[in-house]
A and B are shown apart, each in its own frame.
Chain A
Amino acid sequence: MEDEKILEIKDLHTAFRFQDEYFDAIDDVSLSLYKNEVLAIVGESGCGKSTIANSIVGLHDKNFTKTSGEIIYNGENVLNYSEDQYNKIRGKEIGFIFQDPLASLNPLHKIGIQIEESLIYHTNLNKGQRHERMLQLLDQVGIINPKRIANQFPHQLSGGMRQRVLIAIALSCKPKIIIADEPTTALDVTIQAQILDLLTELQDEINAGIILITHDLGVVAQMSDRVAVMYAGQIVEYAETKELFSNPLHPYTRSLLQSIPQADSVGEELHVIKGMVPSLKNLVREGCRFAPRIPWILESEHEKSPMLNEVSKNHFVRCTCWKNFHFRDDGGY
C-alpha cells in the first residue's frame, strides 16, 4: 500500500437529467487507487458503480449529465478535460473492460481490427507492427491460434474468448489503470475463474491499478485489496478487503454478506434484503439511505446527515446505525 497513488476521486457528484431536473446518481464519492492494487466497488444494480467508471473517462452524454468534484489523474483534474484530451487517455492510460463481451464488440468488424484500432490512435506503429502487436496481445490473453481468431467475427467466438479479446483491447497500450465493469457477470463460473486469474496475471506484468466493479462478493474476496461498498450513490463502507470480510460493520455490508449462500446452510432459507435500491427520482436524500430497508432499527440509531467516519485505521463507515445493528430476531429479514 506504500505504492504511489495513481488516481484520486474527490467529492464526486454525477447527476443525470430527467425532464430538466438533475438527480445525483453519485453523491459525494471519494476514492483513491494505488499502483498495482485492485480496488473493488460493490453494490446492487443501480447503486452507481458503473456511473463512477464512466465518469472517470467522461463517457456520459454531456447534454444529460453534470459532474462536479475532482478526479485527479497525473496531477490534473480530468473532469475539466475536453473530448480531445479525454481521447488521449482513453484506451492509452485507462483501459476498459465491459460486462457483456458480445455486445461490447462491433459485430461487423473482425477481432483483429478491433484490437488494432486503439493502436492506431495511441501509437506510432505502422500497419505491420500493429498486426504483430495485435497477435502478441491475443497470445498474451491466452488465445490459442491468434492468427485464426484475428480473422474471425465476434459471433464466432465463445463468451470466454470474447472477454479475453476485450481484455486484449484494454491492455493494448499498457494502461496504468484498468477499469473492469462487471467483467465476469456474463460468464459461467469456470470461465469466470479463468478470466479473473488472467486479470491478476496481467496486472503483475504491467503494474496497473485495477478498479473492479462487481456485485459478486466472492470475486471481491478473491481479487481485491481494498473494497468500497456502495449504496444508492454513496459509499457506505470503505476498508481493506481482509478487514471488511472479517469485520463488516455497516448494516448493508452485513446484509450483503448474509445473502451469500454458505455450503453448510443447506436447507436454510437464503437471506434476502427486502426492498430494492430506490430509483434516482424517488430517493430520499436526507438521513441514512439504507434506513427504509431496515425498518426495525429505530430512527434514533441513525445519524441526521450521515458521514463517512473512520472507525478504525483505514476503515470508514457511514452513519451510526451499525453500532446497534442486528438482524431481525425472528430470523427473518
Chain B
Amino acid sequence: MWKTVLRRSLLMIPQLFILSIIVFALGKMMPGDPFTGLITPDIDPLRIAELKEKAGLNDPIPVQYKNWMVRILRDGDFGKSYTYKMQVSTLIGARAVNTLWLSLLTLILTYLIAIPLGIYAGRYQGSPFDKGVIIYNFISFAIPTFVLSLIFLLIFGYKLAWFPTTGSVEIGVQKGTFAYVLSKLHYMILPAITAAVLRTAGTIQYLRNEVIDAKTQDYVKTARSKGVPIDKVYTHHIFRNSLLPIAAFFGFTITGLLSGSIFIETIFSYSGMGELFISAINSRDYAVMNALVLLFGFLTLTGSLLSDIIMTAVDPRIRIE
C-alpha cells in the first residue's frame, strides 16, 4: 500500500505544476493589478508605473511565471503580499491555524449532529422523528450559506449577544494563556455551528439511506437469526456498514472544510484562509491568491488519497494495489 501512496504523491507533482500554470494565467487575465486601487487624483501616474516596474509586473507573463516558480522551488518563497506587506507563507501560516481549528470544530459538530440523526431516522423510518429529520434536511440543504449565517448572526450575535460577531479572538488577550484558548473557542462556536448545520444534510441523508438499505441485507437477517438483540444488530452490524460511504468522503470533507469555509469566514469576518482568499482576489494580491489556490489544489489531491487510505482501513474488501 505504501508504494501506492508514494506513487500517488509523486503524481501530484505534475498535477500541481499544471494547476500552477492555470492559476497564474487566470490571475493575470483578471483586469487591474495590485496598484490600481492606489490611483487617486493626487497620485503621480509615474509613481504607479515605477511601482509596477519594480514589482516586475511589466515583464512578459511567461517571464513573470518563471520568476515566481524559480523562487518557490529554489527558496520556498511564495513572494510578498502587496496588501499586507509581509511574506505570504507567514501570512497564510497564521490564518491556516485559525481555519484548521474552525474546520476541526465544524467537523466534530457536523458528525455529532448528523450521525445520531441519520442512524435513528433510518432505523425508525417513517416515524414522526424520521419525518422531522427529513424536513430539517430539506431546509438546511436548501438555505443559502449567507442567509443562515446572517440569521444566526442576528439572533445569537446581536439579539441574544451570546457570541461575538466578528474576528477570531478577543483583542488584548495574552497569547498562550487559558483565557486565550477560551476566547478563541468562543469566537469559533457560532461560525462552526452555522457551517455544521449547513453540512449535515448530505451526511444525514447518506446515513439514513444506508441504514435503510442495510436493514434488509442478508447478513442482518443472519445476525437476527443468531439471536442477536436488535440493538446489538444495529451497533455491531448495521452501523459500521452504513458508515462506509461517510468514510469514503471523509478525506474530501476534511480538505473541503479547510478550503471551503470561504463564505462563513467572510461573513463572520473570521480571519482564516477563506477570508484571506476573498480579500486577496479583490485586491489582486497575486502572490497570496496563487499560493492559496495551489494550497487548495494540494489539499484536494491529498483528500482523495486520504479517502482511499481510509477506505482500505475500514473495508477489508478494498485494497489499493
Contact = CB atoms under 8 A, between A and B. Distances in A.
B227 A104 contact: no
Given A107-B316, A108-B316, A96 B241 contact: no
Nearest to B314: A108
Main DSSP-derived SS at the A contact region: mixed
Interface residues on A, range: 20 to 34
Given A83-B230, A153-B317, A155-B316, A103 B218 contact: yes
Q: Is the interface of B mostly helix, strand, loop or mixed?
A: helix
Interface-central residue, A88, A95, A107, A153, by most chain B CB under 10 Å: A107
B219 A91 contact: no
Contact of B224 (A59, A100, A169): A59
A51 to B, nearest CB: 13
A104 B228 contact: no
A15 interface: no
Interface residues of B, number: 21
16 contacts: A57-B225, A59-B225, A90-B227, A91-B225, A91-B226, A91-B227, A103-B218, A104-B222, A105-B219, A107-B316, A107-B317, A108-B241, A108-B314, A114-B222, A117-B226, A121-B229
A109 B237 CA distance: 9
Contact of B227 (A92, A105, A109, A153): A92
B240 interface: yes
Nearest to A58: B224
Interface of B: 217-219, 221-230, 236-237, 240-241, 314-317
Contacts of B224: 59, 90
Given A83-B230, A90-B227, A107-B316, A169 B222 contact: yes
- What are the 6 tightest A-B residue pairs by CB atom distance, in nearest-first order? A91-B227, A96-B225, A90-B227, A103-B218, A91-B226, A118-B226
B218 A59 contact: no
Nearest to A108: B240
Contacts of A105: 219, 222
A19 B226 CA distance: 31
Interface in A74-122: 83-84, 86-92, 94-96, 98-100, 103-109, 114, 117-118, 121-122
